[in-house]
A and B are shown apart, each in its own frame.
Chain A
């Protein structure tokens, strides 16, 4: 780690964070020489260093955080999908009660900042005797919040279906549940899969907020590493690459799924 050592040397020899005698710097590292001038600041030079190797010993810890994020997001995506399907079914059902109930749920959770929902679950509920651990709180909160968005996407997909297709299913005697499962949902998913992907990506990004309730997922563990190493630049650089990789892989899966579901639609007349 030549750059770190050189910086430490510079700092020591310079006797502080202020201006540094050029000759001292030059004595230890030529890289720094370029960055420093007669009136240069060592702090400026320090910032331009980029050395990921200092993170090496923190990799297992960061990987643990990544794994936790992955786990939380996977369960929450499934949770919000299941919830979204149920709520979409309720919102498109013929029951006025279910319609209203589900509409209230969607409006409520879409219109409250996620961090407020999370604090309410984690810090508020214990006041009335409901204790849920941080991990479960995170998964539940993400699933509920994600479910509101998911249900809305699926619902609009269902409403976009040609009414005649549903009528054809009705007159052939299919039950409502069968029509929903075999006709409405598969057709709605074909158009909804991309917006659903956006919802899920948003969910992954939102999961970083869970670090505020003591959950050391990717962001939480990165914060710890940053404070231990005093190298926020490197740490958060790795963090943003990690999130980009996570969400990018979701986009790829969603894109493939979209193509798969729509594989027979684009072709011309035979």
Chain B
């Protein structure tokens, strides 16, 4: 379980998160929605320990991410996929995927690379397994990024606006893969602007506004009268749909 209580985060004088409470249990797919600058990405970065938290507590399966000794254990349990892919440019797709299993989980290189190829095959990239990131399209890079996160067999997959840097066609190819992963029962925290997709795969929607979580509802409730009863949510949804 990922447990967030009273999370505060500010950058200098700008407060980005003002007391977030959120619990994510095994098997859930939680989409985090909200306007740009509402703190969605920061929330993810607090869960995987990339940002130092200023207040509150974040634990992953009981491991406190703000304690350096526990951070490594917390990180072993979650995998992150980034908006800008962040692949290692000097490594092939297979090497990108196999690096952490070999170095962190001590999987023999051969096994790790075989697993990497199997994952690449699942996302339709078996032919590009030995290509370098610069030789791949954006959508292909993001699929490698997803495989890299999955290779660590994480209990939780953290997805930080993973389709924001992709054109619609590439977005579709990445989303269909994510839908598959969701179906397989992987727990996901999905920060996104893809409202319709979030609706189709999520079990729950968390809505952030100016650093506060103003809605945390089951998906069907969020998109029904309950959600619409909240003026900010209604405004956001109508605006996003118009776009």
Residues of chain A having any CB pair with chain B under 8 Å = 162, 164-165, 167-175, 178, 182-183, 186-187, 190, 261, 264-267, 269-270
Closest to A270 in B: B135
Name, among A167, A168, A261, A266, the residue most crowded by chain B CB atoms within 10 Å (CB to CB).
Answer: A168
Q: Contact: A171 with B75, CB < 8 Å?
A: yes
A-B contact pairs, 7 of them (CB 8 A): A170-B75, A171-B79, A172-B148, A173-B104, A174-B100, A261-B90, A264-B132
B87 at the A interface (CB under 8 A):
yes
Q: Contact: A173 with B135, CB < 8 Å?
A: no
Complex CA gap A167/B136 in Å reads: 21
A183-B88, A187-B90, A265-B89 known; A174+B103 contact, CB < 8 A: yes
Q: Contact: A182 with B82, CB < 8 Å?
A: no
Q: Contact: A270 with B100, CB < 8 Å?
A: no
B107 at the A interface (CB under 8 A):
no
Complex CA gap A261/B91 in Å reads: 11
Extra inter-chain contacts (4) besides given A172-B75, A174-B103, A261-B90, CB under 8 Å: A162-B86, A164-B86, A175-B103, A264-B135
B73 CB to nearest A CB, Å: 9
Q: Mark B131-171, 1 if CB is under 8 A from A, else 0.
A: 11011110010000100110010000000000000000000
Complex CA gap A188/B78 in Å reads: 28
Q: Mark B43-67, 1 if CB is under 8 A from A, else 0.
A: 0000011100000000000000000
A257 CB to nearest B CB, Å: 14
Secondary structure of the A contact surface, majority rule: helix
B182 at the A interface (CB under 8 A):
no
User: Which of A168, A174, A175, A267 sits near B134, CB closer than 8 Å?
Assistant: A267
Q: Contact: B134 with A264, CB < 8 Å?
A: yes
Closest to A185 in B: B90
Q: Contact: A174 with B87, CB < 8 Å?
A: no
Contacts of B90 in A (CB 8 A): 186-187, 190, 261, 264
A144 CB to nearest B CB, Å: 30
Closest to A264 in B: B132
User: Which of B80, B132, B140 sits near A171, CB closer than 8 Å?
Assistant: B80
Name, among A173, A175, A190, the residue most crowded by chain B CB atoms within 10 Å (CB to CB).
Answer: A173
Q: Contact: A267 with B135, CB < 8 Å?
A: yes
User: Which of B86, B89, B99 sits near A174, CB closer than 8 Å?
Assistant: B99
Contacts of B76 in A (CB 8 A): 173
Contacts of B152 in A (CB 8 A): 172-173
Complex CA gap A164/B81 in Å reads: 11
A172-B152, A264-B134, A265-B134 known; A165+B100 contact, CB < 8 A: no
A264-B135, A269-B136 known; A171+B48 contact, CB < 8 A: yes
Contacts of B89 in A (CB 8 A): 165, 187, 265
B111 CB to nearest A CB, Å: 17
Name, among B76, B90, B134, the residue most crowded by chain A CB atoms within 10 Å (CB to CB).
Answer: B90
Closest to B104 in A: A173
